């Protein structure tokens, strides 16, 4: 199971992005500044944007899901129960897993952005997809919810999970690190080796690396362990 970007070239007006590389099973983090092209790349990888040149080849990925940055973009149901039903899920199970206290008859359009994001992510993560593309999954979430989401994502042991984010504080376990700089997707390699090459690395990670305490991964536990490490 893998997804191959074969000299992919996507363009929007004067802006363009070039991507070449192979995403295999595991959790991938695609990092980049705001406006660097993360969402555009996610759309292209989901087959929702036609590239100018190059191809996206998905091998043995039978099921695909793209979670966009804006949860309201996924609403197709008139009530919360309908919305859960449109994902093929039971309303009560979803709100329990999202830790929400909302009525099934309520319109999803009346929920706050944070509530809607939690509901949407609960629907997405309730199913196992071979290829899961998460565009800014941490936006609109508070720290507690970000940590809970990271724990869920870190627990994914099959399929390809690609997280597109400019998040700088809380991360799940990451197997492979990618970065978009200067209109190009760069493969930085596997963690933890790739952390030293990460230009958009959070300040704390950079400081830990500078102090010779490179974290083993990016989870809050790994960062804490590196910060408290007294010797290598």
Q: How many helices (H) and strands (E) does the chain have?
A: 7, 9
Among the listed residues 50, 88, 112, 231, the single contact to another protein using CB under 8 A? 88
What does the alpha-carbon distance between residue 165 and residue 138 come to, in Å, rounded to a whole number? 8
74 vs 156, which CB is nearer to another protein? Answer: 74
Residue span binding another protein (CB under 8 A) among the ranges 78-86, 156-164, 212-220, 223-231? 78-86
Tell me, residue by residue from 105 to 134, as one string, x for binding to another protein by CB under 8 A and - for no binding: --x-x-------------------------
CB 112, min distance to another protein, A = 13
85 vs 202, which CB is nearer to another protein? Answer: 85
Of 195, 104, 97, give the one whose Cα is nearest residue 155: 97
Q: Which DSSP category does 34 fall into?
A: T
131 vs 188, which CB is nearer to another protein? Answer: 131
Please list, in sequence order, all residues whose beta carbon lies within 8 angstroms of the beta carbon of residue 132, skipping any fewer than 6 positions away. Answer: 64, 65, 67, 124, 156, 159, 160, 161, 162
Give the phi and the psi of residue 65 in degrees, each rounded to 5.
-140, 135
Q: How many residues bind another protein (CB under 8 A)?
A: 18
Q: Which residues bind to another protein, rule: CB under 8 A? A: 46, 48, 64-66, 72-78, 82, 86-88, 107, 109
């Amino acid at each position: 199971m893998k997804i191959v970007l074969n000299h992919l070239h996507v363009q929007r007006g004067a802006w363009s992005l070039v991507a070449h590389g192979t995403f295999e099973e595991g959790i991938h983090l695609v990092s980049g500044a705001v406006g660097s092209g993360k969402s555009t790349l996610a759309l292209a990888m989901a087959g929702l944007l036609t590239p100018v040149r190059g191809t996206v080849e998905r091998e043995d990925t039978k099921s695909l899901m793209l979670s966009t940055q804006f949860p309201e973009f996924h609403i197709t149901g008139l009530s919360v129960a309908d919305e859960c039903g449109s994902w093929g899920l039971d309303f009560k199970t979803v709100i329990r897993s999202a830790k929400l206290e909302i009525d099934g008859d309520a319109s999803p359009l009346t929920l706050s952005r944070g509530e809607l994001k939690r509901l949407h992510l609960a629907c997405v993560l309730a199913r196992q997809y071979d290829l899961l593309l998460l565009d800014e999954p941490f936006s609109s979430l508070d720290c507690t919810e970000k940590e809970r989401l990271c724990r869920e994502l870190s627990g994914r042991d099959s399929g390809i999970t690609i997280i597109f984010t400019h998040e700088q504080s809380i991360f799940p376990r990451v197997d492979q690190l990618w970065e978009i700089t200067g209109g190009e997707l760069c493969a930085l390699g596997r963690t933890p080796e790739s952390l030293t090459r990460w230009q958009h690395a959070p300040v704390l990670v950079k400081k830990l690396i500078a102090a010779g305490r490179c974290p083993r991964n990016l989870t809050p536990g790994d960062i804490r362990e590196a910060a408290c490490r007294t010797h290598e």
